[in-house]
Amino acid sequence: MGNLLIILATISDSHLHTPIYFFLSNLSFADMCFTSTTVSKMLVNIQTGTKIITYEVCHSQMYFPMLFSVLDNFLLAVMAYECFVAICHTLHYTVIMSPKLCGLLLLASWLLSVLVSLLHDLMILCLSFCRELETSHFFCEFSQVVQLVCSDTFLNDLGVYLATQLQCVIPLTGILSSYSKTVSSLLRISTVGGKYEAFSTCVFHLSVVSLFYGTSFGVYLSSAATQNSRASAVASVMYTVVTSMLNPFIYSLRNKDLNHAL
């Protein structure tokens, strides 16, 4: 509901028809879909008491959460670039962040996300599964499903490695590079008020980036290292539910334009 409110506020208020809110509304859409693809089935399982999922729905649960997760990565990188332009190239902001460039960045993010997710899902179709198809998880997560495979997973492991470089390392490198240049520009501002005003432009986005990568890398990698199914499930809840739930609060907190629109 929080993500949906942000989308509706961005569409209805003409003052929010700017690049940052354009990308924010798409991030909210990705978060909303990311949560819906996993939590809806989990709630049905809790309500009905059944723990069965069909092969087709399981594939859907691998594809769509991965699609919107990868899309989150690219959108956060694009928003970091927008913040860099807003701080470091203020006078040229409207020229650089033109509607055409914003549309191309969004289109590229969607296309890359679809291709990466489709690659993973198609590679799963080539594998042979064991007779015992049971996983201690609340949805068909890619890494959990691969553990049920009886055939050789070398190509899948290679594909995961290459996709990780594309979907995580490259966007994260772009984010760190953008913010390093942004912070260096902030430090050169002489007045305290100017620094505060400039920093407040990107503080919400920086909080979301920290939350997103903190939960995905910190909690997720630690649970993978222990091979604890409960820890992995808790990590997935943090990654798929908590982060998406907190984003609307972070972006609406002390954001006067968004609060006014809401």
pLDDT band at 120 (very low <50, low <70, confident <90, very high): confident
Name, in order, each residue with C-beta under 8 angstroms of 111's C-beta and a sequence gap of 6 or more. none
The burial class, CB within 10 Å (0-12 / 13-18 / 19+), for 226 is: exposed
Question: pLDDT tens digits for 22-75?
Answer: 998 999 999 999 888 888 888 888 899 888 888 888 888 888 988 998 898 899
Query: What is the distance of C-alpha 221 from the center of its chain?
Result: 17
Q: Whole-angstrom Cα distance, residue 222 to residue 224?
A: 5
Residue 147 pLDDT more than 80?
A: no
DSSP string, 169-207: IHHHHHHHHHHHHHHHHHHT--SHHHHHHHHHHHHHHHH
Q: Whole-angstrom Cα distance, residue 153 to residue 156?
A: 5
Residue 212 pLDDT more than 60?
A: yes
Backbone angles phi and psi of 228, in degrees to 5: -95, 120
Joined tokens for residue 110? 């969607």
**Are 175 and 78 a contacting pair, CB within 8 Å?**
no
**What are the sequence ranges of the domains in the chain?**
2-126+138-261
| CATH 1.20.1070.10 at 2-126+138-261, yes or no | yes
**Which alpha helices (DSSP H) does 49-169 contain, by range?**
55-88, 93-96, 99-125, 142-146, 154-164
Question: pLDDT tens digits for 66-105?
Answer: 899 889 889 989 988 988 888 888 889 999 999 999 999 9
Q: Whole-angstrom Cα distance, residue 233 to residue 235?
A: 5
Joined tokens for residue 240? 């798929």
